[in-house]
Every structure is written in C-alpha cells, then in structure tokens.
A and B are shown apart, each in its own frame.
Chain A
Amino acid sequence: MTERNRYPGYDVMAKRHSLSWNDATRKVMDARLGVPREPRFLRQMEWDTLVAICERIIPQPQNRPPIPLAAYIDQKLQNDARNGFRNAALPPQREAWKKGLAAFEAEACLRYEHSFHNLKERQQDELLHRAETGQSDASVWSGMDASLFFSEHVMSDIIAAYYAHPTSWNEIGFGGPAGPRGYVRMQNGRRDPWEPVEAGPGDETRVRRENQRVR
C-alpha cells in the first residue's frame, strides 16, 4: 500500500529527551513499545482470528513496522482493564471477546469452509460488515449481539490501541506528549519548532529536512 506521507521525516519519538516529555511519560511509552508480542490471555486460534481482524480494521502500510494491535487487545484482556461501563446486553469484556472471536471463526468455517485468518481480505471484510450491520448468522453468536460487539469492542478497542501508539501520531502530525514544555504559538497557522510541518505537493524533500529537526 502506498499513500501520501503528510508529515515526512517526522518522528515523535525524537522528542523523547526533550522538555515535551517527563519521566512518567517516558515510563508509560517504554511499556507501550515493549508490549509482549505473543498472546497471554487468548488461545492461539483466537489470537490468529484477532490478528486478522486487526489488519482489516486498521490496514497498515508495508513500509514501516506495524503497530502490534492484537498484542494490545490481549494485554487489555490479560489485565482485565475495563472502560467503566458495559452495555447490559453484553457479557464482561473477556467473555465478550472470546465469544466474538469464536463467532467470527465459526462463521468463516460455515460460509467459506476456512479459518477466518485464511480468508481473502474481501471475505473477511464481508464477515466484519455482516457483524457491524447485524446480519451475522445468529446461530454462531450464541446469544451475543454481533453489532453491539462490533461497535463496543472490535471498533473501540482496536482503534483506541492504534491511536495510542506514537507511530500513528507521526501519520497524523500530532505533537505527542507535551509536558512540561507545552506550546507557545497558539494562533491559527503558527507552529512551535517542536511541532511537525505538513508537506504540500512537491515540497516533500524540504519538509522532510525540517521535520528531522523537530525536537
């Protein structure tokens, strides 16, 4: 997948030792980047399905290391870190994820006679769309509302994991951690030297040089 890089050369991690980061931030970011890459809560089969789902919810470019989304979901389940509320129609999140992953796998086998993670992207998307719009095969969802599971967990958990990762901040030009230094230039169009520059058509080389100086 090739896509226009709006903030070429920008790496929010280059600010790690700047006044935009404090010790608490360095500590939590180190832990985030060091997330275990193997499942601790999910079984292998569930993990394979989850990895495939993550790749469809947030397809990632090939020219950089991927954000290990499935690892963050497994970590959330391992720690049983909850959101503070639960739709009464859903079971607790550990049970919901286990049921949901099993249901995607069962529906893949039912419809295509293959494991979910071995399906073509188009087929995976179709199963995801069916869940999203409540058209899944109710027999394999064992009473759980597929559409609710899709919005409350598949979408929420995976997308939140992606945009909590510094690699995603480089893509969208987010300044990232900002304490204790904060920001100075508040008006529209004005940039602090520790914020990235956005590239327009044709000025990628110049912008890349500038962004490499962002600290």
Chain B
Amino acid sequence: MSDDPLITPRAARGRAPDVFHPGAWVPMKEYPQREPVDFVVIGTGAGGGPLIARLAEYGYSVIGFDAGPYFRPLEDFASDEASQSQLFWTDERLVDGANPLKMGANNSGRAVGGSTVHYAMVSLRFRPEWFRSRTLLGYGTDWPLDWREMWRYYAQAEHDLSIAGPVSYPWGPKRPRYPYRAHEINGAAEVLARGAEAMGYKWAETPLATVSAPRGDSPSCVYRGFCRVGCSTNAKQSQLVTYIPRALAAGAEIRDLAMVGRIEVDAAGRACGVHYHRNGAWHFQAARNVIVAGYAIETPRLLLNSATDRFRDGLANSSGLVGRYLMTQSNQAVYGVMDEMVRWNKGPPSLTITEHWNYDDRKDFHGGYCWMAQGPLPVEWSAAMSGSRKLWGAPLREKMADYNHQVGLKMVGEMLPHPDNRVSLANEKDRYGLPVARVTYSWHDNDKAMIQHALGEMQRSLELVGAKDIWRQENDTNHLAGTARMGNDRKSSVVNADCRSWDIPNLWICDGSVFPTTGGVNPSLTITAIALRTADRIQMLQQTGQLNF
C-alpha cells in the first residue's frame, strides 16, 4: 500500500501517525459507522482541533474528519515553497466581485491540523471593545460573547499552545505573562521596532505559536524561516502537534483524507450523521451531534450542499445568512531596501508588531489594524513584486537581486461585514461531484480608507529608518471570517453564543465563520478560544440536561 499521505489514509486500523517520531504510531480508538457517536467534528484546524480534544477529554465519543492528509512533519516536509503547496486547499474555487480574493496559501489548509500547519503562528487577542463594536465603537455588530470570559479562554489557548511572547504586552487590559519567553528578533523585525519608535508608537515581540524552549517532544525553534510552508522540526505548535495528539490519547478518532460532502437530517429535523468520501467511496457515519469546523468557505459550502426538501436553502439557514457577511482582512504592505544586509527570511516572518492603530481611535474610518515585520521566501516575494509592481523581464530579475536587503511592513486590517460579500454555490462540480464555492468580494469605502491610512503610516515608518526604493503592495488580503455569524437572535445570525445553530439543535458551527466582525488581528487564537469555550458549554449543557442525547 502507498505511504503517500495524499493518496492513502494513515489514520486507520487502530493507529495514527506519531508525528514526533519517524515511522512511529500511536494507538487510535475506532468507532463503527452504524452506531452514532456523540460528536462528529468536520475539520481539524484552529476550531475543530481543540473541540475534538476537549470533547474527548470530557469523555464523549468523537470523530474528527479532515479532507486532507495526515502528515508526518519530520519526514514529509521539505524546505521548499513549491512542493509544500501540498498543505493548501487547491481544489477549485471561483472568485469574483470587484476585488476577487486570492485563495490558497494565505487562507486555506487541507491537512489534519488545518491551516495551522502552515500559518504564521501569530497569536493575538482581540481588543475587548471589538466584542461590542456596534455599541462602543459605532460599527459592525456586537458579539454575543463577553470579553472577560474570552480573556480566560485566551489564557487557556495561550497555555495549550505554549505561546512565546513578551514579558509585558503594551496594548489592552492586563493579561497573564506568556508561557514561553519571546523569540530573538531578526534584522527585518528590528527595522519595524526602529520605525515605530521614530513615530512614537509602541512595538512588541509578536506572540507566536512556536516554542522558544523545548516543550515535550517539540524542540526549540531553529529560525529556519519556512514557517508558512510547514514546520519540519515540530517547533510550531500547530493543531497537528498539540490538540490532535491530545485528542487521540483521550479516545477520539481522526479520519484523514475524508471529505464530508453532506450532513444528513432525519425526519424530526435533527442532524443524524454525515456522508463522507474516503478510499474511493462514499460512506455514512451516524452521529448524535454534528459540528462543522471547515472555515469560512467550506463551512457554508457544506451547509448549502446539504439542502433537503425541508431545508431548501441549506441547513441552519432560516435567516438566509449562511454564506453572507464574508470578511477577509486587508493585508497590504510597504516594502523598501536597506543599505545593510538584512536577510529577512531568517526566523519566523513576523517577529515584531505594532498594534498602535488597533487601540487609537483618532482616525476617520471604522475598525483597526496592526502591522508586522515581513520575511517572504523567494516565490512569494516574486509574486508580490510582479503582481503589484507589474515587473517582468530584466527589471524583475534586477529588483529580485535586492532580496537580502529587503524589509517590509504588512498590515492585518479589519474589513467590515457586508451581506453581499459571500460564499454561494457555483454550477461547476469538484472531484467528488459536489458544487464548488463561488466567493464574491468587494471592498467598501471604509475598507479603502483604512488601507490608504495604513499604507501611509507604514511608508512613513520605512522612510524614517532610511529605507530606499519604497513601494506599496496595494492588493493583498488574507484571513477569512463570517459566513455563519453568531448572534443573539435567530433572525440576524446563524448560531448562538455557544456556536449552536438556531434551526437544528444538534448542529453546531465552530470556526472563523461564526465571527460577526473580524478585528484587526490574526484570527486563529480567537477561533481556538471560542472552540475551548464551546467545549465547556457543551459539557455544561449536557450536565444540566439541555442537550438531550
């Protein structure tokens, strides 16, 4: 049988890969398909991973499904951008609208562990006011979650992921110290710090999910710099090396290379299992509860593809909001060239940050943004140069030769929710015969105003440190959110604060798609904090007889 993890499932026959030891296995419990398990979780990323682990640790029977392979990072991961695109979701998605999104590397994953296997590890908390942005800041919509409760779950997530961060974080309310010391900063990160200080702004070492000292079987980060195409040493605290091993140890089953194509609903209108494609055939797994954690594209796609006579517009969609209010984050950048050698590819790409404009409200647009230091690898860098500067031919090769002198600042900015930015179904089918997602996106005036503000600020910062040949990358976006927003009532949201769908009481959605607004920081830590809370809520509801299974 092939040992290619992209062809043959590895989690099978009572065992799953031991990601920490080449060739080794850990035992895995397996559940029969016909007997309903307590929970099926679809997706094993920042939302699914912690849920699978915590629910299994509470004693529930849980199966985690992932469409992607079960990688062994120590053996499978090359130091190579091109071949490591094996980590991205590369099945077709159609993009349109005034500002079609670029998908793939930035915002998708197809692996056990989801996109945390290749994310940049940036682990930030929301500004507390963002949970009530309508009431306190006058834009977007309020979340049904209280920031003080989230603060506790952030701390739990930071502990579980051994976040390496500064001794004291300069923005927001007091938080406990980070579990691991901050990483040493590289040349590119130092340029951010000098620029911020010249502007009178605070800066900090970015809290990162890669360990600065050994932790269990994870060695200290060696500053290899290929983080965004997968960590081959297991220093990165992805779901694959944190919650998923915990889940297996607690009795959960993982099914890799298992694409869920449809959620089945019984005559009583309750979810009763999932149809999934694995080993070349469709199968059915019975379940008492179904939790969808496929992120902002696959989650609404699955709900829409699961339509029945009773739920003609898709599951959990009586509000008509499944797929609506898709948000990305603005990810524009300003780059420049320093006289000295910087070698910006050494170490994690975003070692320093300023959240100044997330916490300063003296601006003429809504929402906030941060910016971080940059260190793209050559393929990604050439795509930025050619895509934004329209360079090709000899001028491109000439500019590329400045690679080791480059520095850059890149924003993560809050785009506002709009109903017309959405995921819907296209007529085209994928390799499983399922309609593919159509992703429609247009920037609005507030988004554009924020981008111009940020570009101006980042440019000024680079000018103040003496960078030359400065230019703006105006077109990039990254993380996703929305499409199944949480809220306080069934008319204006898809799920409640517990990530439980209003329409189908045993159907849950727990990933970035529940975000009503997206904030000006990377979303993964917030997704994980919500998942940890959801697991606790499920346990509480079950213990108080409010789940009925």
Q: Which A residues are within 8 Å of any B CB, using their own CB?
A: 1, 3, 6, 20-25, 27-29, 32, 56-59, 81-89, 92, 125, 132, 151, 155-156, 159-160, 162-164, 168-169, 171-184, 186-189, 191, 195, 198
Contacts and interface: CB of A to CB of B under 8 A. Distances in A.
A191 B403 CA distance: 15
B224 A88 contact: no
Given A24-B75, A168-B400, A182-B224, 8 more contacts: A84-B88, A84-B103, A87-B94, A179-B77, A179-B224, A181-B222, A183-B222, A186-B186
B456 interface: no
Given A86-B93, A87-B96, A6 B382 contact: no
Contacts of B379: 160, 163-164
A57 B103 CA distance: 24
B82 A160 contact: yes
Nearest to A22: B232
15 contacts: A32-B82, A58-B393, A83-B90, A83-B103, A92-B92, A160-B379, A164-B82, A168-B378, A172-B403, A174-B378, A180-B232, A183-B222, A187-B187, A188-B338, A189-B187
Interface stretch (B37-45, B147-155, B319-327, B340-348): B340-348
B190 to A, nearest CB: 6
Contacts of A168: 378, 400
Contact of B233 (A84, A125, A180): A180
B504 interface: no
Contacts of B103: 83-85
Given A25-B80, A58-B393, A85-B104, A188 B190 contact: yes
A4 B471 CA distance: 24
Interface residues of B, number: 69
Nearest to B407: A188
A192 to B, nearest CB: 8
A88 B438 contact: yes
B226 A88 contact: no
Contacts of A163: 378-379, 381-382, 400
A24 B81 CA distance: 13
A101 B79 CA distance: 33
Interface string B173-204: 00000000000111100100000000000000
B439 interface: yes
A169 B377 CA distance: 10
B514 interface: no
A160 B79 CA distance: 16
A85 B92 CA distance: 5
List the 4 closest A-B pairs by CB distance, nearest first. A182-B222, A177-B79, A85-B103, A84-B104
Interface stretch (B121-129, B273-281, B284-292, B384-392): B384-392
Contacts, number: 190
A85 B378 contact: no
Interface string B58-101: 00000000000000000111111111010011111111100011
Most buried by B among A6, A20, A82, A172: A172
B442 interface: no
Given A58-B397, A179-B233, A182-B223, A81 B100 contact: no
A186 B224 CA distance: 11
Given A189-B187, A198-B404, A132 B390 contact: yes
Given A88-B100, A173-B403, A24 B78 contact: yes
Contacts of B1: none
Interface of B: 75-83, 85, 88-96, 100-105, 108, 184-187, 190, 221-226, 232-233, 338, 340-343, 345-347, 377-379, 381-383, 386-387, 390, 392-394, 396-398, 400-401, 403-404, 426, 438-439
A21 B224 CA distance: 11
Nearest to A19: B222
B92 A82 contact: yes
B75 A23 contact: yes
A88 B96 contact: yes
Contacts of B383: 156, 159-160
Contact of B346 (A20, A58, A186): A186
Contacts of A179: 77, 79, 222, 224, 226, 232-233
Contacts of B394: 1, 59
B135 to A, nearest CB: 36
A1 B394 CA distance: 10
Given A85-B101, A183-B225, A188 B340 contact: yes
B78 A22 contact: yes
A151 B101 CA distance: 14
A195 B404 CA distance: 11
B104 A56 contact: no
A28 B91 CA distance: 22
Contacts of B345: 174-175
Given A88-B100, A160-B382, A163-B378, A188 B232 contact: no
A78 to B, nearest CB: 15
Nearest to A29: B80
A125 B222 CA distance: 45
Contacts of A32: 82-83
Contacts of B102: 85
Contacts of B85: 81
Most buried by A among B89, B397, B398: B397
A160 B184 CA distance: 31
Contact of B79 (A25, A59, A86): A25
B223 A187 contact: no
Contacts of A174: 345, 377-378, 403-404
Contacts of B90: 81-84
B296 to A, nearest CB: 14
B76 A169 contact: no
A23 B185 CA distance: 29
A198 to B, nearest CB: 6
B393 A56 contact: yes
B401 A186 contact: no
Nearest to A184: B223
A20 B287 CA distance: 47
B81 A164 contact: yes
Given A58-B393, A159-B383, A177-B80, A187 B186 contact: yes
B2 to A, nearest CB: 15
A171 to B, nearest CB: 6
A188 B103 CA distance: 33
Contacts of A6: 401
A24 B232 contact: yes
